[in-house]
Structure 1
Amino acid sequence: MSIEFRDGVAVVDGEPRVLVTADYPYYRDDPAVWAERLRAVRDELGIEVITCYLPWRHHQPGPDMAPDFTGATHPSRDVIGFLALCRDLGLKVVAKPGPFIHAEVTYGGLPDWVCPDADPAIEALLDASGAPSRWSDSPAHVPGRPLPAPLGAAFLARAGEWLAAVGKEVLTGGGPVVALQIANEGIYTNGALPLTAYDYSPSGLAFFRDRLRAWYGTLDAYNRAHQTSFGGWAEIEPPRPGGSGTRAKADWGRCHAEYLAAVYRVSVRAVGSELPVVVNLNPPTVAELDDWLARVRPELWDGISYGFTNWMGVVSADPDAQARYVIAAKRAPGPNMEENWGFSQLYDPAYVDAATSFHQSLLALAAGATGVNLYTGVSTSGWLPDLDSAHTGSYPDCAPIAADGSASEKAPVVHALAGFFTRHGAEFLECVPVASEAFGLYLPYAGIAALSGADGPRCGRSLRLFHDRMRARCRDYALLDLETVTPDRLAAFATVTVPGGPFMHRHVQRLLAGHLARGGRVLVDGPVPTLDENLEPCSLFRPSEPLPATPGPLSILNGRADAFLRSHPDRDVHYLTVLVQDDNDGPVGVRTPLGDVEVVAARGGAAVLRLADGELGDLLVKGVNGWLDSAVAARATFAGHTVAAPHPADLVRIAGRLLN
């Protein structure tokens, strides 16, 4: 099996595929059970791609020892043996060497000896106040230890040596590793933090000033643009809370985007592998949506593929969680690299039942994700104390494969999900979301808004209001980066909504004017820009007038649910995803361009239906949610045809066969 990523889609042996994977943290389990657990993932879950972190602190606990990948110092460090088992069982692997991994591992997987407290040569990551950014392993360990600045010379050298060792000793020899994930949820699980949280360290400021030189060319040009009189680049400081200067705030937001891209590229170069690379970003928080938008710009990553993760709440019950999740899935094409399929005690008790994770997995795919990862597929026990001293018992508490190796009640749900997308994934990805509207991200406004609060132009708040309007009307939409989107891509949408403000790049204004000339509509949320990026007069388009709300291609006739439709551009093939909210009672009716559909599912459940040639085809419908004490005989009706479970249960039909 070979994998490459094309426009965020995993292409496996030449065929696009919805990538359904399962994480197995081998380092938390007895090596004697590795083979049995891997076999269970393959046979009980129907999954053939494993993901696994490689904890730096586990494999190289001391600065004077070489990394142990063979188990010479402890059997659980034999990752080469673990990968050999994967190969022998026909499993492929996405390896995740960090350097920082989180994964509830002490110090996020970093060795103690790269902590600035342990080595004064290692620069600390600093926030706007000059205080170190810290990592706390648990609430009992607050405030935690300072984190190293990613671009500090001493840490960069040590992290580079670790990644190079992984590349040379673990990823060579024709093994089962087919892709890499670099870092975790940003750099230090900090992709969604405020722009003032980092990086004000000396290396971070040097990067910022280097970027300013690249953008402006000369100090005179910078001073003219900012109406300042600095005598040298070293005098320029980034914005801090309470500071002023609209251009300076936009620059700091842009710097964060390039900083994240630079750290990713440095790590990829250090590994020295030709394997495809993906990252995973934590979704934005509600308060820091603008910060996240300013920082997360996959368009800058030079071939590194976008991915995202979960850990923000139960989307079937929480509108904020649902919005954050959908925005993360829509920001760029790529897989969900961590969906919570095993943690109820650590996060939310709703995850004790498979319905919660099933709902979110289908939402991710419906909203734009190209794959889903089970984090974790297997519960583990027996890790070394130095690896994780904050958690006891099994990790996690309710995975599809239990800590004793048995298949839990979640296993058949996963097997159905994997089976459905193994059969239909390529076709699902060929189908295009039915959406006529888009939101155009103008990301200079995100950097300004992140540092200005309610004052000045806005991007995140406009996006959230747009999302809520679309959801209330059961309308899907796209997210587009206005600085990089092509005219042809923009033309796919009848209406684009953009945030308003005082200025906008001249080429963006021309792009919007061209969209209007083609017969498209442009709505502006806020003032219409009258200046270009250099604050020179520029007013190249006149926005459209809002129209009264009209029915969209989908509408919810009855019930409390969301619905998404994807349609094939050349064939009469469609996929309808219905996501039932926790407070729903009774059947959900959905009006579609193909005809009305009725779904009976558990509260908090979900369904995906293949509608082809006017008939109801293969489907998954979740009929049981034990957490909400909801059990129904799952059912789907379309075009006068009904498929139903004979008693309260899930409903699965794959390749025309009912499997339960």
Structure 2
Amino acid sequence: MVIEVRDGVAVVDGVPRVLVTADYPYYRDDPAVWADRLRAVRDELGIEVITCYLPWRHHQPEAGAAPDFTGRTHPARDVVGFLALCHELGLRVIAKPGPFVHAELSYGGLPDWVCPDADPSIEPLLDAAGAPACWDDGAAMRPLPAPFGTAFLAMTTRWLASVGKEVLPGAGAVVALQIANEGVYTSGALPLTAYDYSPSGIAFHRDRLRSWYGTPEEYNALHGTGHADWAEIEPPGPAAGPLAQADWGRAHAEYLARVYRVWARAVGSDLPVLVNLNPPTVPELDDWLARVRPELWGEISYGFTNWMGVVSADPAAQARYVIAAKRAPGPNLEENWGFAELYDPAYIDGATSFHQSLLALAAGATGFNVYTGVATSGWGPELDAAHTGVYPDCAPVDAGGTATSKAPVVRALADFFAAHGAEFLECVPRRSEAFGLYLPYAGIAALSGGTEGPGCGRALLAFHERMRARGLDYGLVELESATPEELAAYRSLTVPGGPFLHRRVQELLAGYAKAGGVVLVDGPVPELDERLEPYALLAPFATPMPAAPAPPDGDNLVLYGEADAYLRSHPDGDVHYLVVLVRTGNEGPIGLRTPYGTVEVVAAEGGGAVLRLAGGEIGDVVVKGVNAYLDCAVEASVRLDGVRTGAAGPGDLVRIGGFIG
């Protein structure tokens, strides 16, 4: 198996596929059970690709010793043997060497000896107040190292290079890599004031200003300052001018891109590299938007995670999840399939994770990960002192290796997308409206507080809520890199209002409007360009936001019932995919508008369904009919033109290849 990643899609042996993976934290388990657990993932869950972190603190606990990848110091460190087992069993692996991995490990998986408290030569990461950014281990708060500090950068380079030289060669199982974790230190969604104000971080900011403006004189002319040297420019605060605030947001985006590139290059591998951004929080939506710019990452591919709440019951969590899935094409690299005690009791039942995995795919993701596929119980306190017993508490395969009630749910999704994933990806989502991200506004709002003045997050969240209320899917477009062809796919585009807008963006939007598109501006229509010089090309083509939201129209898919629905259709054939996501609290069937008339779906509340429609008929389906957490069990079914296909009693409905399982 050879995996490439093209435009966020995993291409396996030349064929695009929905990437369905499961995580197995081998380092938390007894090596004697590795083979058994891997067989369970393969045979019970139907999954062919394993993901696993390679924790630095696990493989190199002592600074003076070389990393152990073969088990010479402890059998659980034999990751080379683990990968060989994967290869023997026909499994492939996405290896995740960090350097920081989180994974509920002490110090996020970093070895203790890279902590600035342990080595004064290691520069700490600082926040805007000059305080160290710390990792909470439960018992202690420990400062984190600045990624570009000289000493720590040398250490991370050596660690990643050792993985590239000692683990990857000969490990035929490894087909891709993941670098970092949810930003740098699970910090992708933190405020822009949380980091990086260390000397190396400020030096990076000044270097970016030099590259953008060329000379201090040019910088001064635009910012109204009088700096004689770049070294005089400090990071902006809430009272700074809008251009300086936008610069800080842009520097954050380039900072994250630089970290990713430096760490990926250190591995020295030509395997595809992905990252797993954590979704934004609602208060820090602008911070996340300013920082997360996949357009700057080059060969590194976007991915995201989900650790934020039950989306079927929480509208804010649903919005954050959809925005993360739409930001760029790529897989969901961690969906919670195993943690109820640590996160939310709703995850005790597979319906919650089923709903969220399908939502990710419907909103724009190209795959999903079962995190974790297997429960484990064999780690020592040096690896994780905060958690004891079983990790996680309710995985699809339990700590004894037995398949749980979640296993058939995972298997149904894995089998459905193994059969239809390539076609699903070929189908085009029904989206006639889009939101245009103008990310300089995100940086301004992130530093100024975002209650007044330009911003991106407020307008995006309001747009999302309007579209969901109307029952419509939508696109997300980054305006500074967008093309006319991208915009032409939509009949209307909503953009945040404010005082200025890049000339190129105004020209792009004006051209779109001249071609028949509608540009809705949420706020003041810009009359300046990026240099704050008069430029109002967009003004004659801009349409103010309507005072009242538009009511549901003929494009909405849900006719009755409380659910979200997504439809995608093949551009060259009569094939469609319908995803139905039932909200918590719904009672009764869901009626849906489709190309073949009304389809009725009966599914558990908090559950959902995915249907293949072709030739006027309903084909393969997976419908979740049971949600034990909500004490809901229905006879899962689908109905078209009076013809019903359903379960014989309360339970799930799975029909793949024409056969009901």
TM over 0.5: yes
Aligned to 1:431: 427
Check whether the contact 2:80–2:171 (CA below 8 A) recurs between aligned residues: no
Alpha-carbon contact 2:625-2:652 (below 8 Å) kept: yes
1:300 to 278, 296, 301: 296
Give 1:591 shift: 1.9
Give the paired residue count. Answer: 655
Partner residue of 2:142?
A: 145
AA aligned opposite 2:183: G
Residue of structure 1 in register with 2:325 after alignment: 329
User: Cα deviation per residue 1:132-168 (whole Å; 9 max; x = unaligned)?
Assistant: 0000123xx25x1000001111000000000000000
Structure 2 counterpart of 1:653, from 627, 652, 655: 655
Q: Which runs of 4+ in 1 moved over 6 A?
A: none
Match for residue 335 of structure 2? Answer: 339
| Secondary structure at 2:379 match in 1 | coil
Of 478, 485, 498 in structure 2, the residue corresponding to residue 488 of structure 1 is 485
Query: Which among 561, 564, 571 is matched to residue 562 of structure 1?
Result: 564
Asked if the contact 1:309/1:339 (under 8 Å) is kept, the reply is yes
What is the TM-score normalised by the length of structure 1? Answer: 0.98
Shift of 1:384: 1.8
Contact 2:469-2:552 at 8 Å conserved across structures: no
Q: Distance in 2 between matches of 1:556 and 1:515?
A: 30
What is the root-mean-square deviation in Å for CA atoms of aligned residues? 0.9
Instruction: Give CA deviations for 1:332-357 in whole Å, capped at 9, x if unaligned.
Output: 00000000000000000000000000
Distance 2:119 2:376 in 1: 33
| 8 Å CA contact 1:253, 1:448 repeated in 2 | yes
| Letter aligned with residue 389 of structure 2 | G
How far apart in 1 are the matches of 2:641 and 2:285?
42
Q: Give 3-state SS (helix, strand or coil) of 1:544's partner.
A: strand
Q: Deviations over 1:506-550 (max 9, x none)?
A: 000000000001111100000000000001110112213557546
1:243 positional shift: 2.7
Per the alignment, in what secondary structure is the counterpart of residue 320 of structure 1?
helix
- Residue 452 (structure 1) shift: 1.2
Following superposition of structure 1 onto structure 2, how do residues 529-540 of structure 1 map, counting pairs within 5 Å?
A: 529-540=526-537
| 2:499 corresponds to 1:502 | yes
Q: Give the Cα separation in 2 of the matches to 1:401 and 1:627.
A: 19
Q: CA deviation at 1:593?
A: 3.8
Question: Which of residues 577, 583, 586 is equivalent to 1:584?
Answer: 586
**Amino acid of the residue matched to residue 315 of structure 1?**
V
Given candidates 501, 511, 516, the residue that maps to 2:513 is 516
Q: 1:550 to 1:589 in 2, by over 3 A?
A: closer
SS at match of 1:224: helix
Q: What SS does the corresponding residue of 1:578 show, helix, strand or coil?
A: strand
User: Which of 216, 221, 224 does residue 219 from structure 1 map onto?
Assistant: 216
> Could you report, residue by residue, the CA deviation over 1:159-195 in whole angstroms, capped at 9, with x for unpaired residues?
0000000000101125210000000000000000000
Residue 557 (structure 1) shift: 1.9
The letter for the 2-side match of 1:556 is V
* Amino acid aligned to 1:543: A
Provide the rounded CA distance (Å) in 2 between the counterparts of 1:297 and 1:183: 16
Partner of 1:34: 34
**What code does the residue aligned with 1:100 have?**
F
2:584–2:606 CA contact under 8 A, matched in 1: yes
1:556: how far off? 2.0
Q: 2:126 touches 2:195 (CA, 8 Å); kept in 1?
A: yes
Q: Are 1:475 and 1:552, in contact at CA under 8 Å, matched by a contact in 2?
A: no
Contact 2:116 2:144 in 1 (8 A): yes
Corresponding residue number in structure 2 for 1:440: 436
Distance 2:593 2:120 in 1: 64
Find the counterpart in structure 1 of residue 631 from structure 2.
629
Matching residue's letter, 2:209: L
SS at match of 1:334: coil
Give the Cα separation in 2 of the matches to 1:639 and 1:5.
Answer: 41
Match of 1:65 in 2: 65
CA distance in 2, matches of 1:272, 1:568: 39
CA contact 1:126–1:199 (8 Å) conserved in 2: yes
Report the Cα distance in structure 1 between the residues aligned to 2:110 and 2:404, rounded to whole angstroms.
Answer: 33
Partner of 1:90: 90
Matched-pair contact (CA < 8 Å) for 1:530–1:537:
yes
Contact 2:442–2:455 (8 Å) recurs in 1? yes
Q: Which amino acid aligns with 1:302?
A: G
2:323 aligned counterpart, secondary structure: helix
Q: Distance in 2 between matches of 1:467 and 1:603?
A: 22
What letter matches 1:107 in structure 2? Answer: Y
**2:160 matched to 1:158?**
no
Contact 2:3 2:175 in 1 (8 A): yes
1:641 to partner: Cα distance: 2.4
**Counterpart pick for 1:263 among 259, 264, 280:** 259
Q: 1:596 aligns with which of 595, 598, 605?
A: 598
Partner of 2:453: 456
SS of residue matched to 1:22: strand
Give the one of 570, 573, 576 matched to 1:574: 576
Provide the residue aligned with 1:544 in structure 2.
Answer: 543
CA distance in 2: counterparts of 1:550 and 1:394, whole angstroms: 47
Q: What is the DSSP-based 3-state SS (H/G/I as helix, E as strand, rest coil) of the residue aligned with 2:331?
A: strand
Please state how far the C-alpha of 1:594 moved relative to its aligned partner.
Answer: 3.2
Q: Percent identity?
A: 73
Contact 2:4 2:11 (C-alpha < 8 Å) held by counterparts: yes
- Partners of 2:471 and 2:552 within 8 A in 1: no
- Once the 2 structures are TM-superposed, how far is the Cα of residue 495 of structure 1 from its aligned partner? 0.3
**Structure 1 CA distance for aligned equivalents of residues 216 and 418 of structure 2:** 56
Structure 1 pair 135/546, CA: closer, same or farther in 2 (3 Å)?
Answer: closer
Structure 2: runs of 5 or more not aligned: none
Question: What aligned pairs does 1:4-403 form with structure 2 within 5 A after superposition?
Answer: 4-138=4-138, 141-142=139-140, 144-240=141-237, 242-403=238-399
User: Contact 1:26–1:76 at 8 Å: present in 2 too?
Assistant: yes
Task: Decide whether aligned partners of structure 1 residues 550 and 349 sit closer, same or farther in structure 2, where only a CA change above 3 A counts.
Answer: closer
Distance in 2 (CA, whole Å) between partners of 1:651 and 1:493 is: 35
CA shift digits 1:453-478 (9 cap, x unpaired): 21210100000000000000010001
Q: Distance in 2 between matches of 1:258 and 1:33?
A: 43
Distance across 1 between alignment mates of 2:460 and 2:252: 20
* Helix, strand or coil at the partner of 2:212: helix
Q: Which amino acid aligns with 1:535?
A: L
Distance 1:173 1:338 in 2: 27
